[in-house]
C-alpha cells in the first residue's frame, strides 16, 4: 500500500507521529478523526484506489479496464448552489452577482460543522495532496479530503501529484496546502434555514483557502472549484488563467494554439489531434514564460463518442480512467449512445492516456487563439478572423451555448453569454481577465479567430450541427497559418465579421452562413435577434464598469442600429 496505509485492513499510518500530524491537520479544517471508527487513506496509487473502489462497491470495472460509476441525482454542476464567503479583503475583489453569490462567514462555519458531522460518521476518509499548475514556481498546493474512493481517484487523475512536478512527498506532515477542498455528499444541511438554494452547496472561503462541497458527488464540482480559486489567485501575479485547451507542434516548439470554449463545445475534441501535442484540454494559464496546464488530466464529455471519429479519446477509456454516468450493457460494456441517465456522460483520465501529449504540460506563447462559439442560432460563420477590438469584445461576451446536461436543469442546447468563455468560474471582474488577454495578444502578436462549432443552415431543431470534419479542417488552417495568409471578404453587415474566401477541405458554400439557409428573410431575422442579444450583454457590461470599458477603448465591433 501507500506510505500511509499498510493494508486494506491495516492502520492508517505506519508512523504514529505522522498519523497524529495528519489528524491534527484535518482537525484544523473541521474534520475530526476517531481512529476507532474511521480509517484515513493518503495519496493512494491507482492500483490501491481501484481496489478500494471495488471493495467499497463504488463502481464496477468495464472490459476496457475503466471503472464505471454513477453520481446519483447530480449528473452535472449546480451553478445556483455555488457561493463565496463575503469576507475582507477578498470581498473587494469579487465580482458579486448571479455567478458569485455571497455567503456570510457565519453560514460558512455552519456548513463546515455539517461537513464535520458527516466526517465523524465516515468509515473511510481519503486525502489527496498535489498541485494545480504545471509551472512549479507558480503551482498551487491543493488538498482534497473526500469520503469516497472515487473522488480520491478523480483528484489523482485531474491534479498533479508531487512527482509530476519533480518532488517526492515523504509524508502528509510535509504538505502545506494553499487550498483545501472537503467533499462529502453525505453532508446534508437544513438549506432553507440557511437561506441556500437547495440541499447541495459548493462554498469557497478565499481567505482561509478552504472549499466545502456537500450533498453532491458530481466530481466536476471539485475540478471547477480548484479552477475557480486559481482564477482568483493568478491575476495579481500577472498570470492569465483561461478556460481553454492548448496544443503545440511536434516539430516546432513555439507552435502553440489555444482553444477557448464552454463545456461540450469542442475544446477537448479539437485539441485531441494526433499530429500535435496536447498540453491540456480545459484549464490553462499564461505567464511570462508561456502557457501551462493547470490540471494533470482530462474530463471529456463522451456522449455518442465513436472510435472512428475521435480515436484518441475513445481509447483513453481504459485502466485508471473513470467513466461517469454511462449505461452498461449486459456484458458490462458502456453504451455511450445511451443518454438515459444523462447527456453529460464524462470520462476522467490522466493526460498520459492521450498518445500525443506534452509531458511537461507547458508550451511557448501562442501564435493563434481560437474562440469556440457553439452558435445555437446557426447564423455565425464557421470561422472569422478578429481584430484586437473584436477579440476583446467576443472574449468579454463569451457567446456560446450551454450543452445538454452540463449543468443541472439544462436539457437542450441553450444560448448563453459567459464572459471569458468561463464566467461561471471567474471570481473577479471579467475586465481583469480581458486586460490581461489584451496585453498578451499585443505583446506576442497573436492571431485570434472565432470558430462556430454549433449549427449551420438553420437554428437548433432546423439546421444541422457543424461537421467535426469541417471544424478540424478550419483548425488545421489556423494551426498551419493558412488563415493568416488567405484573402478575406469584406465584413458582413450585421456582425462585422470578416470570413476567408477559401479554407482547404471546407466547402465554399458554408463559409457564408446566409448561403446555407433556405429562407433569407428568416436568416436575417435570426441574425438580428442574436445581434440584439450581443448588444444587450454589451450594455450590461458597460453599465457594470464604465471605467473599465473606457480604458479598453473598443471601437465599433458590431452593427448597433
Quick: pLDDT tens for 99-111.
Answer: 999 999 999 999 9
Q: What is the CATH number of the domain that holds 227?
A: 3.40.449.10
Assigned domain for 3 exists: no
pLDDT at res. 14:
62
| For residue 13, pLDDT beyond 50 | yes
Max CA distance (Å), the chain: 76
Is the residue at 67 inside a domain? no
pLDDT digits 0-9 by tens, 334-376: 999 999 999 999 999 999 999 999 999 999 999 999 999 999 9
- pLDDT for residue 555: 61
pLDDT at 324: 98
* Model pTM score: 0.94
Region 20-43: mean pLDDT is 93
User: Which residues are designated catalytic?
Assistant: 77, 224, 243, 263, 267-268, 282, 346
Q: How does the average pLDDT of the chain come out, rounded?
A: 92
Residue 1: inside a domain: no
Contact between residue 5 and residue 172 where contact means Cβ atoms under 8 Å apart? no
Are residues 130 and 208 located together in one domain of the fold? yes
Q: Is the pLDDT of residue 158 over 70?
A: yes
Q: Which of 191, 212, 233 is the last residue of a domain?
A: 233
Write down the pLDDT at residue 265. Answer: 85
- Burial track 118-128 (b if 16+ CB lie within 10 A, e otherwise): bbeebebbbbb
pLDDT digits (tens, 9 = 90+) for 252-304: 778 999 999 987 788 888 998 899 999 999 999 999 999 999 999 999 999 99
Statement: residue 454 has pLDDT above 90:
yes
215 and 324 inside one domain:
no
pLDDT at position 2 is: 45
Q: In this structure, are residues 286 and 257 in contact, taking their beta carbons and an 8 Å threshold?
A: no
Same domain, 292 and 305: no
Q: Is residue 22 assigned to a domain?
A: yes
Instruction: Note whether 348 and 391 are same-domain residues.
Output: no
Mean pLDDT of 209-221: 97
Query: What is the average pLDDT across 9-24?
Result: 70
pLDDT in tens, 512-521: 999 999 999 9
372/324 same-domain check: no
Q: How confident is the model at residue 6 (pLDDT cuts 50, 70, 90)?
A: very low
Q: What is the CATH number of the domain that holds 337?
A: 2.170.8.10
User: What number is the average pLDDT over the span 138-146?
Assistant: 97
- pLDDT (0 to 100) of residue 406: 61
Give yes or no for residue 11 having a pLDDT over 90.
no
Cα atoms in the Cβ-side hemisphere of radius 13 Å centred on 359: 3
Does 82 share its domain with 211? yes
506: CATH: 3.90.228.20
Percent of the residues in the chain that have a pLDDT greater than 90, as a whole number: 83
Whether residue 3 has pLDDT greater than 50: no
DSSP three-state, residue 485: helix
Confidence tier at 251 by pLDDT (50, 70, 90): confident
Per-residue model confidence (pLDDT) at position 150:
98
Inside any domain, residue 510: yes
Structure confidence at residue 314 (pLDDT): 96
Distance CA 300, CA 218 (A): 14
Shared domain for 341 and 373, answered yes or no, is no
Confidence grade of residue 193 (pLDDT, cut at 50, 70, 90): very high
Residue pointed to by grid coordinates 505522522: 18
User: Considering the chain, what percentage of its residues have pLDDT values greater than 70?
Assistant: 95
Mean pLDDT, range 370-396, rounded to an integer: 96
Domain count, the chain: 3
Question: With 80 as the cut, is the pLDDT of residue 458 above it?
Answer: yes
196 and 278 part of one domain = no
Q: Is the peptide bond before 345 cis (omega within 30 degrees of 0)?
A: no
What pLDDT, on the 0 to 100 scale, is given for residue 409? 66
The answer to whether position 488 is within a domain reads: yes
Residue 560 domain-assigned (yes or no): no
Whether residue 97 is contained in a domain is answered as yes
Average pLDDT over residues 130-151: 96
Give the model's pLDDT for residue 221.
Answer: 98
Looking at the structure, tell me whether residues 494 and 507 fall in a common domain.
yes
Residue 411 has pLDDT above 70, yes or no: no
CA-CA-CA-CA torsion sign (118, 124, 125, 131):
negative
Does the pLDDT value for residue 201 go beyond 80? yes
The lowest-confidence range among 193-197, 523-527, 551-555 is 551-555
The boundaries of the domain holding residue 313 are: 301-353
Cβ-contact 131, 165 below 8 angstroms: yes
Amino acid at each position: 500500500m501507500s506510505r500511509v496505509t499498510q493494508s486494506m485492513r491495516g492502520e492508517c499510518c505506519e508512523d504514529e507521529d505522522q498519523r497524529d500530524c495528519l489528524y491534527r491537520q484535518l482537525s484544523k479544517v473541521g474534520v475530526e478523526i476517531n481512529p476507532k471508527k474511521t480509517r484515513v487513506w493518503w495519496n493512494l496509487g491507482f492500483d490501491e484506489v481501484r481496489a478500494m473502489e471495488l471493495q467499497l462497491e463504488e463502481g464496477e470495472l468495464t472490459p476496457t479496464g475503466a471503472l464505471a460509476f454513477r453520481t446519483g441525482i447530480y449528473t452535472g454542476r449546480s451553478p445556483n448552489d455555488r457561493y463565496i464567503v463575503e469576507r475582507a479583503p477578498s470581498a473587494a475583489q469579487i465580482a458579486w452577482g448571479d455567478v458569485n453569490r455571497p455567503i456570510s462567514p457565519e453560514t460558512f462555519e455552519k456548513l463546515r460543522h455539517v461537513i464535520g458531522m458527516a466526517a465523524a460518521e465516515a468509515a473511510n476518509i481519503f486525502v489527496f495532496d498535489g498541485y494545480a499548475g504545471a509551472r512549479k514556481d507558480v503551482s498551487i498546493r491543493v488538498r482534497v479530503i473526500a469520503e469516497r474512493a472515487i473522488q480520491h481517484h478523480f483528484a489523482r487523475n485531474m491534479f498533479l501529484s508531487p512527482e509530476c512536478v519533480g518532488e517526492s512527498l515523504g509524508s502528509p506532515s510535509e504538505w502545506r496546502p494553499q487550498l483545501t477542498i472537503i467533499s462529502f455528499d453525505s453532508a446534508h444541511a437544513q438549506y432553507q434555514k440557511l437561506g441556500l438554494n437547495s440541499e447541495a452547496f459548493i462554498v469557497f472561503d478565499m481567505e482561509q483557502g478552504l472549499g466545502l462541497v456537500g450533498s453532491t458527488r458530481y466530481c466536476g464540482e471539485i475540478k471547477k472549484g480548484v479552477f475557480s480559486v486559481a482564477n482568483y489567485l493568478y491575476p495579481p501575479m500577472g498570470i492569465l488563467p483561461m478556460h481553454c485547451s492548448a496544443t503545440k507542434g511536434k516539430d516546432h516548439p513555439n507552435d502553440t494554439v489555444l482553444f477557448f470554449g464552454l463545456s461540450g463545445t469542442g475544446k477537448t475534441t479539437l485539441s485531441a489531434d494526433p499530429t500535435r501535442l496536447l498540453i491540456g484540454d480545459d484549464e490553462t494559464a499564461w505567464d511570462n514564460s508561456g502557457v501551462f496546464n493547470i490540471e494533470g488530466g482530462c474530463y471529456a464529455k463522451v456522449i455518442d463518442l465513436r472510435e472512428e471519429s475521435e480515436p484518441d479519446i475513445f481509447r483513453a477509456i481504459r485502466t485508471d480512467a473513470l467513466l461517469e454516468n454511462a449505461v452498461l450493457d449486459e456484458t458490462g460494456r458502456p453504451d455511450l449512445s445511451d443518454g438515459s441517465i444523462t447527456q453529460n456522460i464524462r470520462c476522467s483520465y490522466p493526460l498520459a492516456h492521450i498518445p500525443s501529449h506534452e509531458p511537461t504540460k507547458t508550451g511557448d506563447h501562442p501564435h493563434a487563439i481560437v474562440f469556440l462559439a457553439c452558435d445555437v442560432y446557426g447564423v455565425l460563420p464557421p470561422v472569422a478572423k478578429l481584430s484586437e477590438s473584436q477579440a476583446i469584445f467576443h472574449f468579454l461576451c463569451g457567446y456560446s451555448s450551454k450543452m445538454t446536461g452540463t449543468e443541472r436543469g439544462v436539457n437542450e442546447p441553450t444560448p448563453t453569454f459567459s464572459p471569458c468563455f468561463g464566467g461561471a468560474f471567474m471570481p473577479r471582474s471579467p475586465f481583469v481577465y480581458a486586460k490581461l488577454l489584451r496585453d498578451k495578444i499585443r505583446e506576442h502578436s497573436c492571431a485570434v479567430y472565432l470558430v462556430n462549432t454549433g449549427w449551420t443552415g438553420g437554428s437548433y431543431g432546423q439546421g444541422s450541427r457543424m461537421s467535426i470534419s469541417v471544424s478540424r479542417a478550419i483548425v488545421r488552417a489556423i494551426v498551419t497559418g493558412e488563415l493568416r495568409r488567405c484573402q478575406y471578404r469584406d465584413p458582413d453587415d450585421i456582425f462585422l465579421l470578416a470570413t476567408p474566401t477559401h479554407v482547404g477541405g471546407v466547402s465554399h458554400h458554408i463559409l457564408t452562413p446566409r448561403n446555407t439557409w433556405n429562407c433569407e428573410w428568416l436568416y436575417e431575422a435570426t441574425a438580428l435577434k442574436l445581434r440584439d442579444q450581443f448588444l444587450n450583454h454589451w450594455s450590461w457590461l458597460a453599465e457594470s464598469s464604465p471605467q473599465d470599458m473606457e480604458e479598453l477603448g473598443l471601437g465599433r465591433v458590431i452593427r448597433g442600429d
